[in-house]
Structure 1
Protein backbone atom coordinates (compact mmCIF):
# COMPACT_ATOMS: atom_id res chain seq x y z
CA UNK A 1 0.00 0.00 0.00
CA UNK A 2 1.35 3.43 -0.96
CA UNK A 3 0.26 7.05 -1.01
CA UNK A 4 1.39 10.16 -2.85
CA UNK A 5 1.46 12.78 -0.10
CA UNK A 6 2.68 15.77 -2.05
CA UNK A 7 4.60 16.61 -5.20
CA UNK A 8 7.64 17.63 -3.13
CA UNK A 9 7.96 14.25 -1.38
CA UNK A 10 8.55 10.62 -2.40
CA UNK A 11 5.63 8.19 -2.40
CA UNK A 12 4.87 6.98 1.13
CA UNK A 13 4.86 3.16 1.49
CA UNK A 14 3.14 1.38 4.39
CA UNK A 15 3.53 -2.38 3.89
CA UNK A 16 4.54 -4.70 1.09
CA UNK A 17 4.25 -8.32 0.06
CA UNK A 18 7.69 -9.20 1.44
CA UNK A 19 6.37 -8.91 4.99
CA UNK A 20 4.90 -12.27 5.99
CA UNK A 21 2.78 -12.32 9.14
CA UNK A 22 3.33 -15.21 11.52
CA UNK A 23 0.62 -14.68 14.12
CA UNK A 24 2.82 -12.72 16.52
CA UNK A 25 -0.18 -10.61 17.60
CA UNK A 26 -2.92 -13.19 17.04
CA UNK A 27 -6.17 -12.24 18.81
CA UNK A 28 -4.55 -9.28 20.55
CA UNK A 29 -6.19 -5.86 20.54
CA UNK A 30 -4.19 -2.74 19.69
CA UNK A 31 -5.14 0.93 19.99
CA UNK A 32 -3.06 3.34 17.89
CA UNK A 33 -3.37 7.12 18.11
CA UNK A 34 -2.52 8.89 14.88
CA UNK A 35 -3.22 5.56 13.19
CA UNK A 36 -4.71 6.97 10.01
CA UNK A 37 -1.48 7.99 8.27
CA UNK A 38 2.27 7.70 8.19
CA UNK A 39 3.97 5.56 10.80
CA UNK A 40 0.68 4.94 12.62
CA UNK A 41 -0.90 3.47 9.50
CA UNK A 42 2.17 1.29 8.91
CA UNK A 43 2.01 0.00 12.49
CA UNK A 44 -1.71 -0.71 12.08
CA UNK A 45 -1.26 -2.69 8.86
CA UNK A 46 1.67 -4.72 10.17
CA UNK A 47 -0.29 -5.52 13.33
CA UNK A 48 -3.28 -6.55 11.25
CA UNK A 49 -1.11 -8.86 9.17
CA UNK A 50 0.10 -10.41 12.43
CA UNK A 51 -3.46 -11.27 13.41
CA UNK A 52 -4.37 -8.37 15.71
CA UNK A 53 -7.63 -6.51 16.06
CA UNK A 54 -6.77 -2.88 15.45
CA UNK A 55 -8.42 0.31 16.66
CA UNK A 56 -7.10 3.61 15.35
CA UNK A 57 -7.67 7.18 16.49
CA UNK A 58 -7.59 10.00 13.96
CA UNK A 59 -8.04 13.72 14.49
CA UNK A 60 -9.55 15.38 11.40
CA UNK A 61 -8.54 13.56 8.19
CA UNK A 62 -11.60 11.37 7.64
CA UNK A 63 -10.53 10.37 4.13
CA UNK A 64 -7.19 8.97 5.29
CA UNK A 65 -8.87 7.26 8.22
CA UNK A 66 -11.31 5.52 5.88
CA UNK A 67 -8.47 4.44 3.58
CA UNK A 68 -6.71 2.94 6.57
CA UNK A 69 -9.88 1.17 7.70
CA UNK A 70 -10.22 -0.44 4.27
CA UNK A 71 -6.56 -1.46 4.23
CA UNK A 72 -6.80 -3.08 7.68
CA UNK A 73 -9.92 -4.98 6.65
CA UNK A 74 -8.16 -6.16 3.48
CA UNK A 75 -5.64 -7.81 5.82
CA UNK A 76 -8.58 -9.77 7.27
CA UNK A 77 -8.53 -7.97 10.60
CA UNK A 78 -11.33 -6.48 12.67
CA UNK A 79 -10.98 -2.75 13.06
CA UNK A 80 -12.46 0.26 14.81
CA UNK A 81 -11.93 3.85 13.65
CA UNK A 82 -12.39 6.61 16.22
CA UNK A 83 -12.39 10.35 15.65
CA UNK A 84 -10.91 12.03 18.70
CA UNK A 85 -8.74 14.89 19.93
CA UNK A 86 -6.13 13.22 22.14
CA UNK A 87 -5.32 16.59 23.69
CA UNK A 88 -8.60 16.37 25.58
CA UNK A 89 -8.78 14.02 28.54
CA UNK A 90 -12.50 13.21 28.23
CA UNK A 91 -12.13 12.26 24.58
CA UNK A 92 -9.28 9.87 25.42
CA UNK A 93 -11.44 8.24 28.09
CA UNK A 94 -14.28 7.91 25.58
CA UNK A 95 -11.99 6.39 22.94
CA UNK A 96 -10.73 3.70 25.30
CA UNK A 97 -14.29 2.93 26.40
CA UNK A 98 -15.28 2.49 22.77
CA UNK A 99 -12.44 0.01 22.23
CA UNK A 100 -13.39 -2.02 25.30
CA UNK A 101 -17.07 -2.00 24.32
CA UNK A 102 -16.23 -3.41 20.89
CA UNK A 103 -13.35 -5.79 21.59
CA UNK A 104 -13.68 -6.47 25.32
CA UNK A 105 -9.95 -6.14 25.90
CA UNK A 106 -6.88 -4.03 25.25
CA UNK A 107 -3.40 -5.51 25.00
CA UNK A 108 -1.24 -2.88 23.31
CA UNK A 109 -1.38 0.91 23.28
CA UNK A 110 0.65 2.79 20.67
CA UNK A 111 0.87 6.51 21.39
CA UNK A 112 1.75 7.85 17.98
CA UNK A 113 -0.25 11.06 17.40
CA UNK A 114 2.07 13.96 16.70
CA UNK A 115 2.17 17.62 15.70
CA UNK A 116 5.06 19.77 14.55
CA UNK A 117 5.56 23.29 13.24
CA UNK A 118 8.90 24.92 12.43
CA UNK A 119 10.04 28.33 13.70
CA UNK A 120 13.12 30.35 12.83
CA UNK A 121 13.34 31.89 16.31
CA UNK A 122 12.08 31.18 19.80
CA UNK A 123 10.49 34.62 19.80
CA UNK A 124 8.26 33.55 16.89
CA UNK A 125 6.49 30.94 19.02
CA UNK A 126 3.24 32.09 20.60
CA UNK A 127 1.91 30.75 23.90
CA UNK A 128 -0.90 29.03 22.00
CA UNK A 129 1.46 27.30 19.55
CA UNK A 130 3.76 26.14 22.34
CA UNK A 131 0.80 24.72 24.23
CA UNK A 132 -0.59 23.05 21.09
CA UNK A 133 2.59 20.97 20.76
CA UNK A 134 2.29 19.77 24.34
CA UNK A 135 -1.44 19.08 24.04
CA UNK A 136 -0.96 16.62 21.18
CA UNK A 137 2.52 15.22 21.74
CA UNK A 138 2.72 14.73 25.50
CA UNK A 139 -0.56 15.64 27.24
CA UNK A 140 -2.45 13.35 24.85
CA UNK A 141 0.01 10.54 25.57
CA UNK A 142 -0.60 10.93 29.30
CA UNK A 143 -4.40 11.12 28.95
CA UNK A 144 -4.64 8.10 26.65
CA UNK A 145 -2.24 5.98 28.70
CA UNK A 146 -4.03 6.82 31.94
CA UNK A 147 -7.36 5.88 30.38
CA UNK A 148 -5.98 2.61 28.98
CA UNK A 149 -4.03 1.48 32.04
CA UNK A 150 -6.94 -0.08 34.00
CA UNK A 151 -7.56 -2.38 31.02
CA UNK A 152 -3.95 -3.47 30.52
CA UNK A 153 -2.88 -6.68 32.21
CA UNK A 154 0.30 -8.65 32.62
CA UNK A 155 2.05 -9.04 29.27
CA UNK A 156 0.60 -5.82 27.88
CA UNK A 157 2.75 -3.29 26.07
CA UNK A 158 2.78 0.50 25.75
CA UNK A 159 4.76 1.89 22.82
CA UNK A 160 5.42 5.61 22.42
CA UNK A 161 6.64 7.39 19.30
CA UNK A 162 9.41 9.84 20.09
CA UNK A 163 11.90 11.18 17.49
CA UNK A 164 15.58 11.41 16.73
CA UNK A 165 15.11 15.10 17.43
CA UNK A 166 14.74 14.30 21.14
CA UNK A 167 18.35 13.08 21.10
CA UNK A 168 20.01 15.15 18.38
CA UNK A 169 17.97 18.37 18.61
CA UNK A 170 16.55 20.37 15.71
CA UNK A 171 16.98 24.14 15.53
CA UNK A 172 13.84 24.52 13.39
CA UNK A 173 11.61 22.44 15.69
CA UNK A 174 12.19 23.66 19.23
CA UNK A 175 8.66 22.97 20.59
CA UNK A 176 8.42 19.60 18.82
CA UNK A 177 11.89 18.56 19.98
CA UNK A 178 11.07 19.55 23.55
CA UNK A 179 7.91 17.44 23.63
CA UNK A 180 9.68 14.47 22.06
CA UNK A 181 12.34 14.63 24.77
CA UNK A 182 9.54 14.67 27.36
CA UNK A 183 8.22 11.44 25.82
CA UNK A 184 11.55 9.76 26.51
CA UNK A 185 11.36 10.75 30.18
CA UNK A 186 7.74 9.59 30.35
CA UNK A 187 8.66 6.25 28.77
CA UNK A 188 11.55 5.52 31.11
CA UNK A 189 9.73 6.56 34.29
CA UNK A 190 6.53 4.70 33.43
CA UNK A 191 8.50 1.57 32.52
CA UNK A 192 9.93 1.51 36.04
CA UNK A 193 6.52 2.12 37.59
CA UNK A 194 4.77 -0.66 35.65
CA UNK A 195 7.51 -3.30 35.55
CA UNK A 196 6.11 -5.02 38.64
CA UNK A 197 2.75 -5.38 36.90
CA UNK A 198 4.30 -7.10 33.91
CA UNK A 199 3.48 -4.19 31.59
CA UNK A 200 6.31 -3.10 29.31
CA UNK A 201 6.80 0.51 28.16
CA UNK A 202 9.13 1.34 25.28
CA UNK A 203 9.52 3.90 22.53
CA UNK A 204 10.46 4.10 18.87
CA UNK A 205 12.60 7.03 17.72
CA UNK A 206 12.24 7.49 13.96
CA UNK A 207 14.65 9.48 11.87
CA UNK A 208 13.34 11.42 8.84
CA UNK A 209 10.43 9.44 7.38
CA UNK A 210 8.12 10.08 4.42
CA UNK A 211 4.95 11.08 6.27
CA UNK A 212 2.47 13.99 6.10
CA UNK A 213 3.97 15.60 9.22
CA UNK A 214 6.92 16.75 7.10
CA UNK A 215 4.62 19.02 5.12
CA UNK A 216 4.86 21.43 8.06
CA UNK A 217 7.97 22.75 6.31
CA UNK A 218 5.98 23.86 3.27
CA UNK A 219 5.91 27.63 3.23
CA UNK A 220 8.76 27.71 5.77
CA UNK A 221 11.68 26.20 3.87
CA UNK A 222 10.72 23.61 1.28
CA UNK A 223 14.38 22.85 0.60
CA UNK A 224 14.45 21.19 4.03
CA UNK A 225 12.07 18.52 2.74
CA UNK A 226 14.21 17.90 -0.34
CA UNK A 227 17.41 17.70 1.75
CA UNK A 228 15.93 15.69 4.63
CA UNK A 229 17.30 12.36 3.49
CA UNK A 230 20.82 13.75 3.20
CA UNK A 231 21.10 13.84 6.99
CA UNK A 232 21.21 10.04 7.16
CA UNK A 233 24.21 7.86 6.24
CA UNK A 234 21.84 5.97 3.93
CA UNK A 235 21.24 9.24 2.08
CA UNK A 236 17.47 8.85 1.98
CA UNK A 237 14.33 9.26 4.04
CA UNK A 238 12.84 6.20 5.64
CA UNK A 239 9.52 4.68 4.65
CA UNK A 240 6.68 4.04 7.13
CA UNK A 241 6.84 0.34 6.17
CA UNK A 242 10.38 0.28 7.60
CA UNK A 243 9.02 1.38 10.98
CA UNK A 244 6.01 -0.96 11.19
CA UNK A 245 8.00 -4.08 12.21
CA UNK A 246 9.61 -2.16 15.08
CA UNK A 247 6.17 -1.71 16.65
CA UNK A 248 5.33 -5.38 16.09
CA UNK A 249 8.54 -6.38 17.87
CA UNK A 250 7.82 -4.20 20.89
CA UNK A 251 4.18 -5.32 20.99
CA UNK A 252 4.77 -9.06 20.87
CA UNK A 253 6.47 -11.61 23.13
CA UNK A 254 9.72 -11.37 21.17
CA UNK A 255 10.52 -8.31 23.32
CA UNK A 256 9.37 -9.81 26.64
CA UNK A 257 12.63 -8.75 28.37
CA UNK A 258 12.66 -5.24 26.91
CA UNK A 259 11.26 -2.26 28.79
CA UNK A 260 12.22 1.39 29.23
CA UNK A 261 14.15 1.27 25.97
CA UNK A 262 14.38 3.34 22.80
CA UNK A 263 14.44 1.59 19.45
CA UNK A 264 16.19 3.90 16.98
CA UNK A 265 15.12 3.49 13.35
CA UNK A 266 16.92 6.31 11.61
CA UNK A 267 19.04 5.19 8.67
CA UNK A 268 22.27 5.05 10.67
CA UNK A 269 22.24 8.42 12.43
CA UNK A 270 24.32 7.99 15.59
CA UNK A 271 22.82 9.68 18.64
CA UNK A 272 24.68 7.93 21.51
CA UNK A 273 21.53 7.28 23.49
Structure 2
Protein backbone atom coordinates (compact mmCIF):
# COMPACT_ATOMS: atom_id res chain seq x y z
CA UNK A 1 0.00 0.00 0.00
CA UNK A 2 1.25 3.50 -0.85
CA UNK A 3 2.63 5.52 2.04
CA UNK A 4 0.80 8.75 2.87
CA UNK A 5 2.96 11.61 4.12
CA UNK A 6 1.97 15.09 5.29
CA UNK A 7 4.33 18.01 4.68
CA UNK A 8 3.57 21.53 5.89
CA UNK A 9 4.85 24.71 4.27
CA UNK A 10 5.11 23.09 0.83
CA UNK A 11 4.83 26.09 -1.47
CA UNK A 12 8.56 26.89 -1.64
CA UNK A 13 11.99 26.35 -0.12
CA UNK A 14 12.65 23.30 2.02
CA UNK A 15 9.00 22.24 2.05
CA UNK A 16 8.77 22.06 -1.74
CA UNK A 17 12.14 20.30 -1.87
CA UNK A 18 10.85 17.66 0.55
CA UNK A 19 7.88 17.00 -1.72
CA UNK A 20 10.11 16.72 -4.80
CA UNK A 21 12.50 14.35 -3.02
CA UNK A 22 9.65 12.16 -1.77
CA UNK A 23 8.31 11.83 -5.30
CA UNK A 24 11.75 10.85 -6.61
CA UNK A 25 12.42 8.33 -3.84
CA UNK A 26 9.10 6.51 -4.04
CA UNK A 27 7.00 6.45 -7.25
CA UNK A 28 3.95 5.40 -5.26
CA UNK A 29 4.05 7.81 -2.34
CA UNK A 30 1.09 10.11 -1.71
CA UNK A 31 1.80 13.54 -0.23
CA UNK A 32 -0.59 15.96 1.43
CA UNK A 33 0.68 19.52 1.47
CA UNK A 34 -0.51 22.68 3.14
CA UNK A 35 0.56 26.28 2.54
CA UNK A 36 -0.94 29.71 2.10
CA UNK A 37 0.02 30.12 -1.58
CA UNK A 38 -2.51 28.21 -3.66
CA UNK A 39 -0.83 28.80 -7.03
CA UNK A 40 2.28 26.92 -5.92
CA UNK A 41 0.17 24.08 -4.52
CA UNK A 42 -1.77 23.82 -7.78
CA UNK A 43 1.51 23.56 -9.68
CA UNK A 44 2.62 20.66 -7.48
CA UNK A 45 -0.78 19.00 -7.89
CA UNK A 46 -0.49 19.22 -11.67
CA UNK A 47 3.13 18.05 -11.67
CA UNK A 48 2.39 15.06 -9.45
CA UNK A 49 -1.12 14.29 -10.66
CA UNK A 50 -2.91 11.88 -8.36
CA UNK A 51 -0.06 11.79 -5.87
CA UNK A 52 -0.13 15.29 -4.38
CA UNK A 53 -3.17 16.62 -2.52
CA UNK A 54 -3.37 19.91 -0.71
CA UNK A 55 -5.22 22.28 1.57
CA UNK A 56 -4.70 26.01 1.15
CA UNK A 57 -4.48 28.16 4.25
CA UNK A 58 -2.66 29.18 7.38
CA UNK A 59 -1.61 26.01 9.22
CA UNK A 60 -1.80 27.87 12.54
CA UNK A 61 -5.60 27.97 12.18
CA UNK A 62 -7.33 24.95 13.71
CA UNK A 63 -9.95 24.97 10.93
CA UNK A 64 -7.25 24.43 8.29
CA UNK A 65 -5.70 21.62 10.31
CA UNK A 66 -9.05 19.88 10.74
CA UNK A 67 -9.73 20.24 7.02
CA UNK A 68 -6.37 18.64 6.26
CA UNK A 69 -6.85 15.73 8.67
CA UNK A 70 -10.41 15.19 7.44
CA UNK A 71 -9.25 15.02 3.81
CA UNK A 72 -6.53 12.50 4.66
CA UNK A 73 -8.92 10.33 6.66
CA UNK A 74 -11.67 10.33 4.03
CA UNK A 75 -9.51 9.92 0.93
CA UNK A 76 -6.78 7.55 2.13
CA UNK A 77 -7.56 6.55 5.71
CA UNK A 78 -3.94 6.42 6.79
CA UNK A 79 -0.92 8.57 7.57
CA UNK A 80 2.61 7.18 7.66
CA UNK A 81 4.55 10.34 8.48
CA UNK A 82 4.36 14.05 9.17
CA UNK A 83 7.13 16.48 8.27
CA UNK A 84 6.45 19.69 10.21
CA UNK A 85 8.25 22.31 8.14
CA UNK A 86 6.08 25.44 8.13
CA UNK A 87 7.42 28.31 10.19
CA UNK A 88 8.58 31.91 10.29
CA UNK A 89 11.60 33.76 11.68
CA UNK A 90 10.03 37.04 12.79
CA UNK A 91 9.95 38.75 15.21
CA UNK A 92 13.67 39.44 15.09
CA UNK A 93 14.49 41.90 17.86
CA UNK A 94 16.69 42.33 20.94
CA UNK A 95 15.23 40.90 24.13
CA UNK A 96 14.51 44.37 25.50
CA UNK A 97 12.12 45.00 22.60
CA UNK A 98 9.73 42.18 23.57
CA UNK A 99 6.33 42.38 21.87
CA UNK A 100 3.84 39.96 23.38
CA UNK A 101 1.47 39.88 20.39
CA UNK A 102 4.33 39.05 18.03
CA UNK A 103 5.65 36.31 20.31
CA UNK A 104 2.21 34.78 20.69
CA UNK A 105 1.67 34.77 16.91
CA UNK A 106 5.12 33.25 16.38
CA UNK A 107 4.61 30.45 18.91
CA UNK A 108 1.14 29.80 17.55
CA UNK A 109 2.63 28.99 14.14
CA UNK A 110 6.07 27.60 14.98
CA UNK A 111 5.06 25.48 17.96
CA UNK A 112 1.41 25.26 19.02
CA UNK A 113 0.08 24.57 15.52
CA UNK A 114 2.51 21.66 15.26
CA UNK A 115 1.47 20.22 18.63
CA UNK A 116 -2.19 20.47 17.61
CA UNK A 117 -1.59 18.86 14.21
CA UNK A 118 0.35 15.99 15.78
CA UNK A 119 -2.47 15.44 18.26
CA UNK A 120 -4.98 15.28 15.39
CA UNK A 121 -2.86 12.81 13.40
CA UNK A 122 -1.80 10.61 16.32
CA UNK A 123 -4.50 7.95 15.85
CA UNK A 124 -3.54 7.48 12.20
CA UNK A 125 0.19 7.58 12.94
CA UNK A 126 -0.11 5.01 15.70
CA UNK A 127 -1.97 2.65 13.38
CA UNK A 128 0.90 2.73 10.87
CA UNK A 129 3.68 2.97 13.47
CA UNK A 130 4.48 6.23 11.77
CA UNK A 131 7.12 8.92 12.05
CA UNK A 132 7.06 12.60 12.99
CA UNK A 133 9.92 14.69 11.63
CA UNK A 134 10.32 18.23 12.95
CA UNK A 135 12.29 20.88 11.04
CA UNK A 136 14.30 22.39 13.88
CA UNK A 137 17.21 24.85 13.77
CA UNK A 138 20.71 25.36 15.07
CA UNK A 139 19.21 28.40 16.78
CA UNK A 140 17.50 25.99 19.18
CA UNK A 141 20.85 25.19 20.80
CA UNK A 142 22.91 28.29 19.91
CA UNK A 143 21.70 31.88 20.24
CA UNK A 144 21.84 34.37 17.38
CA UNK A 145 21.39 38.02 18.30
CA UNK A 146 17.76 39.07 17.95
CA UNK A 147 16.50 35.52 17.48
CA UNK A 148 15.27 34.86 21.04
CA UNK A 149 11.72 34.09 19.93
CA UNK A 150 12.68 31.77 17.07
CA UNK A 151 15.29 29.95 19.15
CA UNK A 152 12.88 29.44 22.03
CA UNK A 153 10.16 28.02 19.78
CA UNK A 154 12.57 25.61 18.09
CA UNK A 155 13.97 24.54 21.48
CA UNK A 156 10.40 23.80 22.57
CA UNK A 157 9.99 21.70 19.42
CA UNK A 158 13.11 19.69 20.32
CA UNK A 159 11.63 19.04 23.75
CA UNK A 160 8.30 17.99 22.25
CA UNK A 161 10.10 15.45 20.05
CA UNK A 162 11.56 13.95 23.22
CA UNK A 163 8.12 13.84 24.83
CA UNK A 164 6.60 11.98 21.88
CA UNK A 165 9.44 9.45 21.89
CA UNK A 166 9.01 8.89 25.61
CA UNK A 167 5.23 8.63 25.76
CA UNK A 168 4.19 7.15 22.40
CA UNK A 169 5.79 3.76 21.78
CA UNK A 170 4.03 3.17 18.46
CA UNK A 171 5.52 6.21 16.71
CA UNK A 172 8.98 7.72 16.39
CA UNK A 173 9.99 11.37 16.31
CA UNK A 174 13.07 13.43 15.59
CA UNK A 175 14.03 17.12 15.38
CA UNK A 176 16.48 17.87 12.57
CA UNK A 177 18.27 21.17 11.89
CA UNK A 178 18.61 21.81 8.13
CA UNK A 179 21.78 23.92 8.13
CA UNK A 180 21.85 27.33 6.47
CA UNK A 181 19.75 26.95 3.33
CA UNK A 182 19.31 29.20 0.31
CA UNK A 183 15.68 30.17 0.90
CA UNK A 184 13.62 33.34 1.19
CA UNK A 185 14.37 33.37 4.91
CA UNK A 186 18.04 34.00 4.16
CA UNK A 187 17.10 36.88 1.85
CA UNK A 188 14.98 38.36 4.62
CA UNK A 189 17.84 37.99 7.12
CA UNK A 190 20.32 39.78 4.85
CA UNK A 191 18.01 42.50 3.54
CA UNK A 192 15.49 43.16 6.32
CA UNK A 193 15.92 41.57 9.72
CA UNK A 194 19.70 41.70 9.89
CA UNK A 195 20.30 45.39 9.09
CA UNK A 196 17.37 46.42 11.28
CA UNK A 197 17.65 44.20 14.35
CA UNK A 198 20.89 42.18 14.43
CA UNK A 199 24.40 43.26 15.34
CA UNK A 200 26.86 43.56 12.42
CA UNK A 201 28.82 40.63 13.87
CA UNK A 202 25.74 38.38 14.00
CA UNK A 203 24.65 39.36 10.48
CA UNK A 204 28.14 38.81 9.02
CA UNK A 205 27.91 35.03 9.33
CA UNK A 206 24.94 34.96 6.98
CA UNK A 207 26.23 37.50 4.48
CA UNK A 208 29.57 35.68 4.34
CA UNK A 209 27.91 32.35 3.60
CA UNK A 210 25.95 33.91 0.78
CA UNK A 211 28.92 35.75 -0.70
CA UNK A 212 31.08 32.64 -0.51
CA UNK A 213 28.44 30.45 -2.17
CA UNK A 214 28.12 28.21 0.88
CA UNK A 215 24.36 28.29 1.35
CA UNK A 216 22.85 24.82 0.95
CA UNK A 217 20.42 24.10 -1.88
CA UNK A 218 17.02 23.20 -0.38
CA UNK A 219 17.14 19.67 -1.78
CA UNK A 220 20.14 18.79 0.43
CA UNK A 221 18.26 18.88 3.75
CA UNK A 222 15.06 18.11 1.84
CA UNK A 223 16.41 14.69 0.93
CA UNK A 224 17.24 14.00 4.60
CA UNK A 225 13.72 14.84 5.76
CA UNK A 226 12.17 12.84 2.93
CA UNK A 227 14.26 9.75 3.70
CA UNK A 228 13.34 9.86 7.40
CA UNK A 229 9.65 10.17 6.53
CA UNK A 230 9.75 7.35 3.99
CA UNK A 231 12.18 4.90 5.58
CA UNK A 232 11.46 5.63 9.21
CA UNK A 233 13.46 7.09 12.07
CA UNK A 234 16.08 4.66 13.43
CA UNK A 235 15.33 3.46 16.94
CA UNK A 236 18.58 4.88 18.30
CA UNK A 237 17.70 8.36 17.01
CA UNK A 238 14.15 8.41 18.34
CA UNK A 239 13.37 11.66 20.17
CA UNK A 240 16.70 13.41 19.64
CA UNK A 241 17.78 16.72 18.11
CA UNK A 242 20.33 16.29 15.33
CA UNK A 243 21.84 18.19 12.40
CA UNK A 244 21.02 17.20 8.82
CA UNK A 245 24.65 16.18 8.19
CA UNK A 246 25.19 14.13 11.34
CA UNK A 247 27.02 10.88 10.44
CA UNK A 248 24.46 8.90 12.42
CA UNK A 249 21.86 9.73 9.77
CA UNK A 250 24.10 8.45 6.98
CA UNK A 251 24.74 5.24 8.92
CA UNK A 252 21.07 4.51 9.48
What's the TM-score once normalised by structure 1's chain length?
Answer: 0.77
Q: Pick the structure with more helix per residue.
A: 2
Q: For this pair of structures, how many residues does the alignment match?
A: 236
Counterpart mapping for 1:62-81 below 5 A: 62-73=38-49, 78-81=51-54
In 1: Cα distance, 2:69 partner to 2:163 partner: 23
Shift in Å, 1:231: 6.0
Residue 172 of structure 2: aligned partner = 200
Shift in Å, 1:85: 2.1
Task: State the superposition RMSD in angstroms.
Answer: 2.6
SS of corresponding position for 2:19: helix
Shift in Å, 1:249: 2.6
In 2: Cα distance, 1:228 partner to 1:266 partner: 19
Residue 109 of structure 2: aligned partner = 136
SS of corresponding position for 1:65: helix
In 1: Cα distance, 2:19 partner to 2:150 partner: 24
Residue 14 of structure 2: aligned partner = 39
Counterpart mapping for 1:104-253 below 5 A: 104-152=77-125, 153-195=127-169, 197=170, 199-217=171-189, 218-221=191-194, 227-228=205-206, 230=208, 236-253=214-231
SS of corresponding position for 1:168: coil
Residue 83 of structure 1: aligned partner = 56
Shift in Å, 1:172: 2.2
Task: Determine if contact 2:137/2:154 at 8 Å carries over to the other structure.
Answer: yes
Deviations 1:84-133 (A, max 9, x none): 32222232122111122222211111111101125342233321111111
Equivalent of 1:263, from 219, 242, 250?
242
What's the TM-score once normalised by structure 2's chain length?
Answer: 0.83
Shift in Å, 1:229: 6.4
Shift in Å, 1:157: 0.7
**Gaps (5+ residues) in structure 2?**
248-252
